[in-house]
Structure 1
Amino acid sequence: MKLKDGFVTHMFDDTQILIGTETVSFKGIVNSNKTAAFIVDCLKTDTNESKIVDKMLEKYDADRTVIEEDVHMIIRKLQDIGALDE
């Protein structure tokens, strides 16, 4: 899966914004904290949930189950707005 072309991100301070451009049906802005931004950044190249979880475990000192739940939740939200090519 991968973030669809037509979605762009911009980081300022500790917040990442994800914006749908005119080429996608989602017309809005998604604000992400640093953890969600890390997941979105992973999705800029073709990947899967398992690989994202592994990358997060390398970066964050957290329980695998918690990370798996967070990754799954963020991916579901991105799927709901049509932001992912699967």
Structure 2
Amino acid sequence: MKLKEGFITHQTGDEQIMVSAGNTKFNGLVRSNSTAAFIVDCLKSDTTENEIVSKMLKKYDAPEEVLSSDVKKIIDKLRSIGAIDE
């Protein structure tokens, strides 16, 4: 899976802004904290949920179950706005 073309991101301070700049159904702005921004950045290249969790385990001091749940929630939200290519 990968972040769909037409969605661009910009880092501003402690948050990441993502907007639809292409031919997508979503018309809005997504503001992400640093954890969600890390997940979105991982999705800029083809990856899997498990690969993202593995990367997060190296970066964050948190239990795998918590990180896995966070990754699933963020990916589900991105799917709901049509931002993921499967």
Q: Normalization by structure 1: what TM-score?
A: 0.98
2:65 is the counterpart of 1:65: yes
Q: Which runs of 5+ in 1 are unaligned?
A: none
Root mean square deviation of aligned Cα: 0.5
Shift of 1:21: 1.3
AA in 2 matched with 1:63: P
Could you tell me which residue of structure 1 aligns to residue 15 of structure 2?
A: 15
Give the % identical residues: 58
Q: Show the counterpart of 2:52.
A: 52
For 2:48 and 2:22, how far apart are their aligned partners in 1?
26
* Cα distance in structure 2, aligned partners of 1:66 and 1:60: 11
CA distance in 1, matches of 2:17, 2:82: 16
CA distance in 1, matches of 2:36, 2:22: 23
Inter-partner Cα distance in structure 2 for 1:24 and 1:9: 15
Report the AA paired with residue 7 of structure 2: F
5+ residue gaps, structure 2, are none
Deviations, residues 11-70 of structure 1 (Å, cap 9, x unaligned)? 010010110114111000000000000000000000000000000000000000000000
Aligned match of 2:38: 38
- Moved beyond 4 Å, runs of 4+: none
Q: Distance in 2 between matches of 1:7 and 1:22?
A: 7
